[in-house]
Amino acid sequence: MNPDGRPLVFVDTETATLRGAPFLLELAAVRVVDGEVADTFAELVLPPVPIEPEATEIHGIDEDMVRQADPAPMVLRRFLEYVAEDWMVAHSAGFDARVLAYECARAGLTAPRNPLVDTVPLAKRYLPEAPDHKLETLCQYLDLEEGDHHRALDDATWCWQVFAACAAEAAQQGDEWTASSLLGRVPITVAGKAPESPRLPGRLRALERAVRAGDDVRLVYGEGRSPSELPVTPLFLFDRKGKGYLEAECHNSGLLKTYLLERVQRVLDPR
């Protein structure tokens, strides 16, 4: 079923937001050894941003459900210890790798370099007659047992079952699965999806220092001649699709907000 008989950890994430940088809301994993479930990991996460109603419509997780949950850095540390050096597997693995990469970056944690197998290309090759290769569709196609779609532990379990179905078909076709055939030419890793740092013009270099030191600043923010002065605590700088962003705690609202760097005119010391 897997190269060298190594354990595989099947992973799934759910997020609090559907747009912009991802915020982890639920993280689950199923470790499979010799074709059997050895143990599982499943935790809700308290996000630093409100859960978007559209996200709740997909996975059913609301604010009340996560009120007593730990924040992402604590959950991530336990998850990374759980995974250790094992290979991971996910359906649409690039998405889950990106979610974990952003949260590792926010927490200052080293993103894991464990290989991450994607079951989507495997399903396209070995289950070509499925109507499409979304996880929910594959569950129906393979007549897998019922559960809560878009809940992390159920989806991680189904990912394993889809992987097993592909492995069985590969064996029937005489295909020998090797590390290279499972991982492809450019293996997916969480570290490989780490967000890049934005290029900061001189007027914004103070933001890098503020993030490192945890200092408060005032952003002169907006366009035109009447920008706003916003007192914030800068937390995280990142580049997304060629644009730079700052995540910072807004002192006026007490909420974590994302600011477009090109709209920051100046960075001032706090009053």
Cα-based angle 235, 246, 208 (whole degrees, multiple of 5): 60
Dihedrals phi, psi of 118, to nearest 5 degrees: -105, 125
Based on the fold, state whether residues 70 and 24 are members of the same structural domain. yes
In degrees and rounded to multiples of 5, residue 227 shows phi and psi of -75, 165
Domain boundary among the residues 168, 193, 218 is at 193
Looking at the structure, tell me whether residues 134 and 243 fall in a common domain.
Answer: no
Q: What three-state secondary structure class fits 146?
A: coil
Q: Is there a single domain that holds both residue 74 and residue 182?
A: yes
Q: What is the CATH number of the domain that holds 224?
A: 2.30.30
Block mean pLDDT (10 aa), the chain, length 271: 79 96 98 95 97 97 97 98 97 97 97 96 96 95 87 96 95 86 86 96 95 96 88 96 96 95 94 74
**Cβ-proximal residues to 52 (8 Å cutoff; 6+ apart), any chain:** 16, 17, 18, 19
- Residue 241 shares a structural domain with residue 154: no
On whether both 73 and 163 belong to a single domain, the answer is yes
Whether residue 42 is found in the same domain as residue 104: yes
Q: DSSP letter string over 226-252?
A: -PEEEEEEEEEEEEETTEEEEEEEETT
Looking at the structure, tell me whether residues 219 and 149 fall in a common domain: no
Q: 178-187 pLDDT, tens per residue?
A: 877 788 777 8
Quote the pTM value: 0.94
Q: What is the pLDDT of residue 215?
A: 96
Residue 20 and residue 152 share a domain: yes
Please check whether residues 51 and 163 belong to one and the same domain.
yes
Q: Specify whether 226 is located in the same domain as 257.
A: yes
Are 149 and 208 part of one and the same domain? Answer: no
Give the per-residue pLDDT at 2.
63
Q: Of the residues 176, 193, 210, which one is the last residue of a structural domain?
A: 193
d(CA 131, CA 73): 38
Containing domain of residue 72, as a range?
Answer: 3-193
* pLDDT for position 87: 95
How many structural domains are present in the chain? 2
Boundary (domain end) residue, out of 140, 169, 193: 193
CATH number at residue 56: 3.30.420.10
- CA distances 193 to 18, 111, 242, Å, are 18, 9, 15
pLDDT at 3: 61
Considering the domain architecture, whether residues 176 and 85 belong to the same structural domain is answered as: yes
